[in-house]
Structure 1
Amino acid sequence: MQFQKLIADENGESHWMDVSVTLTERSFAPPAQDIEISEPERVKQAMFLRLRSGWNEPIHPTPVAQKLVCLAGTVRVTASDGEFRDIGPGDVWHMEDKHGKGHHTTVTSKEDFESIIIQYE
């Protein structure tokens, strides 16, 4: 299991990286059998987000560290270094490019892009 992470370096340039999630088998909901699960992460809030088909934003940094889980539709997200990722259903995108040049996002699907946002700060 992995997710895609967008970070900003010390010069404000944003870059993509792939992050593997470590899962450990343990008891989570006794008496159910053990499951594979990651370590918990503290979060501040969660929201649902919709970007209408054709939506195209100017380049910007993320306002807070947050994860996006895509439910429907697709977006193309381009880091300031030019590398892009297509985010679609089931993909997880962790944003930490809170300073610098940021990223550009555009909806590439004919359908609206729908997701859940989980904020850390």
Structure 2
Amino acid sequence: MRYHHLYSDDQGESRWQEVGIHLTERVFAPPAQGILVSEPEAAHSVVFLRLPAGWDEPAHTSPIRQLLICLKGRVCVTASDGDTREIAQGDIWRMEDLTGKGHHTRVIGTEDFEAAIVQFA
């Protein structure tokens, strides 16, 4: 498992990196057998969003540390350094570019983009 991580460097540029999710076998839901699971991380809230087909926004920073899980549709996200990622159904995008130049997002194709967002404390 992996996620797309967007962060701000010391010069204010937003940059991408691919991050692998470390899983360890443990009993997660007793009495079920052990399964591979990541370490828990405290969350503040969960929101759902829909961006209509054709949606195109100006560049901005992430308002809070958050993790987006794409449920439907596709977006193209461009970091301020020019590197892009396409986020599609099943992809995970961790947003931590809280300062600097931010990123630009636009919906690709004719389908609306739908996602669940976990916001961290």
TM tier, smaller: over 0.9
Percent of pairs with identical residues: 55
Normalized against structure 1, the TM-score is what? Answer: 0.98
- Tell me which residue corresponds to 1:70: 70
- Alignment deviations for residues 27-84 of structure 1 (CA, whole Å, 9 cap, x no partner): 1111111110000000100011110000000000001100000000000000000000
Q: Which residue of 2 aligns with 1:43?
A: 43
RMSD: 0.6
The Cα of 1:110 is off from its aligned counterpart by: 0.9
Aligned to 2:82: 82
Runs of 4+ with deviation above 2 angstroms: none
Q: Distance between the aligned counterparts of 2:6 and 2:38, measured in 1? A: 20
Matched pairs, number = 121
Match for 1:83: what amino acid?
D
Which runs of 5 or more structure 1 residues have no equivalent in the other structure? Answer: none
Structure 2: runs of 5 or more not aligned: none
- Greater strand share, 1 or 2? 2
